[in-house]
Amino acid sequence: MKRRVVVTGLGAITPLGIGVDKSWQSLCQGKSGIGMITRFDTTDFGTRIAGEVKDFSPQDFIDRKLIQRTDRFIQFALAAARMALEDSRLTINSSSADRVGVSVGTALAGIESLEKNHQLLLQGARHQISPFFIPCFMANMASGQVAMQFGAKGPNMCPVTACTASTHAIGDAFRIIQRGEAEAMITGGAEALVTPIILAGLDALKVMSTRNEKPEKASRPFDKDRDGFIISEGGGVIILEELEFALNRGAKIYAEVLGYGLNSDAYHITSPDPEGKGMASCIRMAISDAGISVDNIDYINAHGTSTYRGDLSETRAIKSVFQERVSDIHISANKSMIGHLWGAAGAVEAIFCILTSTQGVIPPTINYETPDPECDLDYVPNVAREAKVRVALSNAFAFGGMNATLVFSQFPLQ
């Protein structure tokens, strides 16, 4: 018998706001968090818009000395973790520390610190490079700092798998608890990649929207006129616990994690398999792991990046898996409002997926204005919808052909 795993705490920082409640309310209202980039001059860039986190004050969550020693992505992780732990009321002390672990993923880690210190090197100011530069830049330091700040001495890991990183982090944490290696895991992802070098690199790849004149309209998953994704920043953390451990301490339970699937397209560095074969296989794997059938799925939180090939492949994958049931499935793409948080996307969207079930409200896919004949499913266009969601999927797909899917259900499942 596999040990059962439940969600007891949520924490998020997104372009829609600081905290889960503010982000969720804005999401359900169809508000966009996409705007003109304010953190650096974008005059010479093709894309000049992003999902920046506004009004983030790290001192609200972190000691001032630690702020000087951490990159922005680590600060997002620490803040989201603090919110999730406070929400769960999980106490980590000397008797429980060895049984509480951390798994926080990221795609590109401390890019802002890398740019800043590399500039000093180019200016001949090598001796001004911070002694904390390397710990700021390292991908695993978000997971490490979360463990150090909250005293979690159990398993500690950091998936670095591009846009599937935090979905892998949550899935791996789920497995760790199932195997009995921990009673609780602080898990999710963080990303801070709204920087000049990343914007320039993605400009060169030509994968981002250039709809600069109307930032709030730029991210339009599954719409016929989609022209690329929007980069964003932020962090999401959830607290997972073994069911009996959570019940024994009287924890509030948001949802149960039922299943996890992961695989690879093994097809192309940036493009998914055109038919969505790898994605479909991943979704089937997660459903099988959950011990349920396609008939049990009510809602899919789509990866939905607003790229032509990605959205088409995901649509084909969903059709392949659900076949004649596909028209009964509610689908929505949070990236239409929050943009693409890369390594943090899966965690933030998992939080929204969980809330969709607990609140009985499906956030819309905004900017769905011109239907694409090849993307013809129910994407909950433009306006939130009340619906009973008992079991939901959260998809994440990434450069390199990485695929990951999580299955969440109401608790108790009714």
Catalogue the active-site residues.
Answer: 163, 303, 340
Kindly state the tokens that stand for 389.
Answer: 């969601």
Rounded CA-CA distance 37/303 in Å is 23
Helix axes 72-88, 141-150, angle to 10 degrees: 40
Kindly state the tokens that stand for 61.
Answer: 């969550």
Rounded CA-CA distance 159/260 in Å is 15
Secondary element (H or E) of residue 6: strand 5-14
Are 193 and 108 in contact, with CB atoms under 8 Å apart? yes
H helices within 206-341, ranges in order?
Answer: 243-248, 277-290, 308-322, 335-338
Residue 231 CB partners (closer than 8 Å, separation 6+): 50, 51, 193, 194, 198, 199, 202, 208, 339, 340, 342
The pair phi, psi for residue 66, each rounded to 5°, is -70, -30
Rounded CA-CA distance 48/42 in Å is 6
Kindly state the tokens that stand for 361.
Answer: 């409200």
- Does the N-terminal peptide bond of residue 412 adopt cis geometry, omega within 30 degrees of 0? yes
Secondary element (H or E) of residue 28: helix 20-28
Rounded CA-CA distance 368/311 in Å is 13
Q: Are strands 5-14 and 391-398 parallel, antiparallel or unpaired?
A: unpaired
Secondary element (H or E) of residue 156: strand 156-157
Are 319 and 222 in contact, with CB atoms under 8 Å apart? no
